[in-house]
Structures are given as structure tokens and as C-alpha cells.
């Protein structure tokens, strides 16, 4: 993985969560900063703190364009993204930091709308912002508003949820239809001139994760399918755990209008970002109970089993299509859509 | 403090750490997000975790322009700034997060120089980056590179260091000459056309704080004098603790070349940002021991006692000048210099 990074100039594709992002992280960032915790490349770092407690710690910067979109805005996104990263290791979110980079000239009414959205999302989750920062840069030096959130959470039950626990036979479950977030963003971009009715799935999933932990001690791994979409995160999980994965095209939930828009645009929903979708690797025996618990959650009503971990050890992901063929799912080389989060 | 925020448009002065930043924070951000911890407006949040342990948590975004300057760069700054914020509550830094927003077209050699600087600074402090994020935005949507770091640290000795502990008689000590960071940045700005020999004081101060904690249990409060300079942080501390402060112009260390440049430019060194200056409020009886310990630290050789907490309770700061007059030190209305951190 640690091949030398060969590009001379940063390109948009270095930030899209795909192949070139991986090259940047493995070839350059980890070359300087790699250590036992960071090099795992999990969504949250997990650190022993005292007694039975572990601390989860994560960060994300949000540069979504436009800042307001159907189903959310950069504020809601900045809280959901970080809370969902904490949830992927089974941590109960405790608090977030909030740091703004504002462009001179930003309308205060826009900032206020974002703050209101942040507050509503925090209230839903039940956590506070405990520390923050605000910078302002000259007009033209940033695009309206960028937000960074970092999150801390606690794991008190010595319940390890990480890719290394994935094993043959594990059942892969997702909590609903994919690709809505990326398409909702795209539909708001300038120059996009037809009406669609697609709403971002942006949602906090810490409650859903708590609920499935209650019904099973065999949740092996979790991952929120953001940049790069379901395909990319499955490839990363398969590689991290050195397992092969089979998924079934007909079982993967995609809304009719989303599928239609993807076909029209020539885009593959498997690679389109979500902001409220958790991929669950459950031990086989508990899969039905986990699915049932997920369906009870407001953000899991359309949960579905979409595949399983097979006996291969090559880190490959196979898509079994509706017409009975099987094709390899790879990480894409370049972005379909920049700045979706 | 919670007056309604009346501006319609975000201006550079909302980010300079002065009066309008305070209005934005108190009038808008805290209106939505205020809570017991955040509303204290300390540099780090302190959270009880288990047994005798407390967790310190802080964040800062860095948008300094230019990204390379005499004495440091945005990478070193992003680690020092966050570690120093942890140190202000007496926490021992444990780990940081690191999040990049990169502009398409950034030279990878520049990113590599920044990463190398981050690594060197982390190695000096002895902490890792444990979690991170990288976003790339289109050319023109950001200015080269912005960095956010969040930091976590632990307080294991139940040693509370916070403005509420400041009391009459406390001695105010600073670890060396002020105003070098802001002027070093200014000297690199386009259009600045005379040679100066001023180097940023950017430095990690967690070691210095550990050392003074070893010699005294009467460190009452700490604050790193960044945006807004020494004057602004003293005003904020006086207000937070409802005490009056006297400082003495002739005791405040300022390098000759720094003073000369300030006079030439009509700038007041008291209001110019530092990135390696800790303001220490020490109980009177321990002040000499604390000063001695500070002078032993590599970043404290020029430490000096600059004032004390007087008997007033109005939250006022008084500057006693060299010619025997006394004037009130206020928070400035507008920035002297944007994007110094």
C-alpha cells in the first residue's frame, strides 16, 4: 500500500474518496504521519483511557457545494458525518467540536440557518458542541463556508467493532436506499436543468448503532458509505479484512427516481455518496435479529441484507447481477462528483 | 454579553479575535449552541471521564497567509496552536486529529514540506496524529491549504487551571517577547517591501506548562496570547474572572527590531498575535519559583513578570506606561492584520 506518491499537483480526485485519495493517504500522508492507530484508516481512532473505557476520536471537514440542499445543509451534514464516524466503532457520541472557516461577505442569515440546523441535529442526538473556532478569510479565499467537526465518544462495553473481526459467512446489511445524497447535491448544482425529487439521506445513525449493539454481540464491523459510495467502502473493508465479498444487485435498495436519474446521467449508484447509510457486517446467526432491530429505527425502515462474506481471501468484491452474471467491483480512479460532503 | 448580533454580512473583523469576534460568538454562536462547557469560552473544553481523569478537547482551523513564514509554516502552527490550547488547562496532550482542505493545483512539494513540519513538531511534543481527513476543492474555492486540528489531552492530577481561580495578588508572567508572530507574517505579505529580521515565535508550550505545574500547585490560569495579542487575552481574562489587572509597559518583553517595526508601521505590539506565548497567572507566593522554572524551558528563557491582579473587580486592564501614566487597555474594534493563524 505504501507506494511512493508520484503526482506533482493536487487534483480534485485526490479528495473524492477513490483510488487517488488512497494513493495520497498511503503514499504521502502515512509516510510522514503513520502510526499504529492512524494507519488502520478506520473512521474513528480508538484509544484506551481508563479502566474499561475506550475513547473514540474522529474528524471531518465539510466543503459541500451547495451549502443548502434537499434534505439538509452543511451544518446538519457536519454533525451527522462526525457522529456516524464515531458510531462505526460502536462508540456512544459524547461531544463535538465545531470550527468555521467563513468567507468575508457570507450572509449572516445563511450562517444562522446553518447554526439552527446544527442545533436541531445535536438536540436529536443529545450531544453538545463543547469547543469551537471561527476564522474569516477574504472574499474569494474560500467558498462561503467550510466546517470542521471533530467528535469524541466512549465505548464502555469492551465491544470491539472493527474490520479485523469480519469473517467468512458474515451477513452484510444496509439501512436503506443508496445514492440519494450525491444525487440531491448534483440536482442543486448550477447548470443542472431538470426537476428531480431526490432528497439527501443525511442522518445521524448513532441511535441505530446503539440499538443493534443491544440485540447482538456479533456486529463485526460497521462503515458509513460516504465518499465513493457503497462500492468503495465495501472494497476498502474487503481489503482491510482480507476477505472476499459477494453482493447482489437486486437486493441493494435504490429508489426508482434515483435509479432513473442514474441511468439518465450514466452514473452508477454504487459509487454515489450517502450520508445516512451504515453498512453492517453481522455474524450470520444474528443477522435476522440485527435486521429486525435496524428496521425499527427511523433511519432503518428500508434496511436490507445485500450480501455476505464469502470464502475467498483476496480482498475482492463481486457484484452478482440481476441477469446472473458476476463482475468485480473496483475502486474508481476518478471522481463522479466533487464536493459532496 | 448575549446581545443580539446585528451585522448582516460576515466581515474579516469577525475572525480577528477582537470585539466583533466576541459579538459573533456571544450574539450568534452561543445563542444556538451555548451550554455549560462551551459558554465558558476557554481554549479547551474539560470533561470528566472516569475516576480521577479529565479529558481536555479543543479545536482550531488554520488559514494563515502566507503558508510558509520565517520561523514556521501552517503545519507547525496547526500543531502548536492546538497543543497550546490543551496546555492552557494544564492537560498533557495525548493525540491530535488533522484535517486538510486543499485547493486543486496545490504543489505536492508544498504539501510535503507542511507534512514534514507537522511530523517534526509532533515528534518534539511526543504525540501522534490518530485520525484525519482530506478534502480537495476546485481552484479558486480555497487559498492553497487550510488545516484543522483538534486535540485531546488528559488531566490526571485534579489540578484545576481556569480563569475562575484568578484572584487579587496573582502575578502575571509571560514566557518571552511579544508580537513576533504577527510581524513575521506581515513581513511576508505581498507589497511589504522592506527587509526585516523578525521570526515567528510559533512553538509548542506543553512542556513548559508541565514544568511549572511541577513546581507549583498555585498556577491559577493560563492563556496563550494568539489572535488579538496580549492585550486582548488579558482583557478577556480580566472579564472572565471579574478582576482588574495592572501591567507595566517597561516590563513587557518586546525585541528591539519588533518595537522598531511596530513604531514604523504605527502598530501596537500589545495587540499583535503570538503563537508561542503563554500568559501565566501564578499565586503570589509561588511566582518566583514559577518564573525560574519557565526560564529553564527552551521556550521561556526570556520569561518576565509583567503585572499583577489588583483589588478592582471591574474586569479592567490598566497599562502603566514608562512615563508614569496609566491607561485602560481595551479590546480593539477591528483587525490590525487578518489571517495570522
Q: Are residues A177 and A303 in the same domain?
A: yes
CA separation for the pair B12, B5 (Å, rounded): 16
Query: Of A138, A155, A172, which residue sits at a domain end?
Result: A155
Q: Do B33 and A95 touch (CB under 8 A)?
A: no
Q: How confident is the model at residue A1 (pLDDT cuts 50, 70, 90)?
A: very low
- Interval B248-271 mean pLDDT: 95
Please report, for the domain that includes residue A119, its CATH number. 3.30.1330.10
- Interval A83-107 mean pLDDT: 98
- Interval A170-177 mean pLDDT: 98
Instruction: Tell me which chain B residues have a C-beta less than 8 angstroms from the C-beta of A146.
Output: 61, 101, 142, 146
Q: Tell me the pairing of strands A53-62 and A92-103.
A: unpaired
Average pLDDT taken over every residue of chain A: 94
Q: Kindly state the percentage of chain B with pLDDT values over 90.
A: 88
Q: Which of A162-176, A183-197, B72-86 has the lowest mean pLDDT?
A: A183-197
pLDDT of residue B52: 81
pLDDT of residue B23: 94
Question: Is A32 part of any domain?
Answer: yes
User: Which residue's entry shows cell 465491544?
Assistant: A159
Average pLDDT taken over every residue of chain B: 94
Question: Is B26 part of any domain?
Answer: yes
Q: Do B132 and A59 touch (CB under 8 A)?
A: yes
Q: Are residues B106 and B209 in the same domain?
A: no
pLDDT of residue A335: 60
Q: Which residues on neighbouring strands pair with residue B135, listed in sequence order?
A: B101
Q: Are residues A258 and A192 in the same domain?
A: yes
Instruction: Tell me which chain B residues have a C-beta less than 8 angstroms from the C-beta of A142.
Output: 63, 141-143, 146
Domain span at residue A104?
A: 43-155
pLDDT of residue B1: 46
Nearest to A243 by CA among A334, A312, A145: A312
pLDDT of residue A196: 77
CB within 8 Å of chain B, chain A residues 14-43? 14-16, 21, 24-25, 28-29, 31-33, 35, 37-38
More confident call, B48 vs A282: A282
Grid cell locating B4: 443580539
CA separation for the pair B295, B251 (Å, rounded): 15
Report, in angstroms and rounded to the nearest whole number, the Rg of chain B calculated over CA atoms.
19
Query: Of A132, A155, A178, which residue sits at a domain end?
Result: A155
Shortest Cα distance, chain A CAs vs residue B61, angstroms: 6
pLDDT of residue B336: 64
Nearest to B116 among A32, A100, A108 (CB): A32
| Residues in contact with B296: Cβ distance below 8 Å, sequence separation at least 6, in sequence order | B211
What pLDDT, in 10s, does the model give residues A98-111? 999 999 999 999 99
What pLDDT, in 10s, does the model give residues A232-245? 999 999 999 999 99
Q: Are residues B33 and B99 in the same domain?
A: no
pLDDT of residue A52: 81
Q: Does the structure show a pLDDT above 90 at B175? A: yes
Q: Are residues A30 and A174 in the same domain?
A: no
Please report, for the domain that includes residue A184, its CATH number. 3.90.650.10
Question: Is A334 part of any domain?
Answer: no
Residues in chain A: 341
Nearest to B107 among A9, A24, A49 (CB): A9
Does the reported pTM lie above 0.90?
yes
Which residue of chain B has the CA closest to A27?
B112
Number of domains in chain B: 3
Nearest to B341 by CA among A135, A68, A197, A74: A135
Q: Are residues A170 and A150 in the same domain?
A: no
Q: Are residues A3 and A63 in the same domain?
A: no
CA separation for the pair B282, B304 (Å, rounded): 12
Instruction: Tell me which chain A residues have a C-beta less than 8 angstroms from the C-beta of B97.
Output: 45, 57-59, 150
CA separation for the pair B195, A244 (Å, rounded): 62
pLDDT of residue A109: 97
Question: Is B80 part of any domain?
Answer: yes
What pLDDT, in 10s, does the model give residues A241-264? 999 999 999 999 999 999 999 999
What pLDDT, in 10s, does the model give residues B123-155? 999 999 999 999 999 999 999 999 999 999 999
pLDDT of residue A193: 65
* Separation in Å, CA A15 to CA A227, A280, B129, B147, B288: 9, 25, 19, 14, 52
CA separation for the pair B340, B337 (Å, rounded): 7
What pLDDT, in 10s, does the model give residues B22-35? 999 999 999 999 99
pLDDT of residue A189: 86
Amino acid at each position: 500500500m505504501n507506494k511512493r506518491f508520484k503526482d506533482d499537483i493536487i487534483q480534485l480526485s485526490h479528495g473524492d474518496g477513490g483510488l487517488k485519495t488512497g494513493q495520497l493517504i498511503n503514499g504521502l500522508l502515512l509516510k510522514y504521519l503513520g502510526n499504529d492507530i492512524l494507519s488502520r484508516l478506520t473512521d474513528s481512532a480508538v484509544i484506551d483511557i481508563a479502566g474499561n473505557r475506550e475513547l473514540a476520536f474522529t474528524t471531518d471537514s465539510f466543503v459541500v457545494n451547495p451549502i443548502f440542499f434537499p434534505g439538509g445543509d452543511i451544518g446538519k451534514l457536519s454533525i451527522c458525518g462526525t457522529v456516524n464516524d464515531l458510531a462505526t466503532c460502536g462508540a456512544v457520541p459524547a461531544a463535538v467540536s465545531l470550527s468555521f472557516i467563513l468567507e468575508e461577505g457570507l450572509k449572516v442569515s445563511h450562517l444562522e440557518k446553518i447554526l439552527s440546523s446544527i442545533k436541531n441535529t445535536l438536540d436529536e442526538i443529545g450531544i453538545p458542541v463543547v469547543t469551537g473556532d471561527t476564522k474569516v478569510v477574504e472574499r474569494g479565499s474560500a467558498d462561503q463556508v467550510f466546517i470542521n467537526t471533530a467528535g469524541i465518544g466512549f465505548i464502555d462495553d469492551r465491544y470491539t467493532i472493527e474490520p479485523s473481526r469480519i469473517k467468512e459467512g458474515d451477513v452484510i446489511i444496509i439501512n436503506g436506499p443508496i445514492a440519494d445524497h450525491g444525487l440531491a447535491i448534483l440536482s442543486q448544482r448550477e447548470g443542472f436543468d431538470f426537476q428531480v425529487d431526490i432528497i439527501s439521506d443525511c442522518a445521524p445513525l448513532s441511535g441505530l448503532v446503539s440499538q443493534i449493539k443491544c440485540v447482538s454481540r456479533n456486529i463485526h464491523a460497521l462503515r458509513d458509505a460516504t465518499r465513493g459510495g457503497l462500492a468503495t467502502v465495501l472494497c476498502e473493508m474487503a481489503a482491510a479484512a482480507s476477505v472476499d465479498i459477494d453482493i447482489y444487485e437486486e437486493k441493494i435498495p435504490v429508489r426508482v427516481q434515483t435509479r432513473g436519474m442514474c441511468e439518465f446521467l450514466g452514473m452508477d449508484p454504487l459509487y454515489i455518496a450517502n450520508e445516512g447509510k451504515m453498512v453492517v457486517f453481522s455474524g450470520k446467526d444474528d443477522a435476522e435479529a440485527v435486521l429486525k432491530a435496524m428496521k425499527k429505527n427511523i433511519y432503518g425502515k428500508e434496511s436490507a441484507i445485500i450480501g455476505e462474506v464469502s470464502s475467498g481471501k483476496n480482498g475482492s468484491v463481486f457484484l452478482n447481477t440481476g441477469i446472473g452474471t458476476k463482475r468485480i467491483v473496483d475502486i474508481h480512479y476518478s471522481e463522479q462528483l466533487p464536493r459532496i460532503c
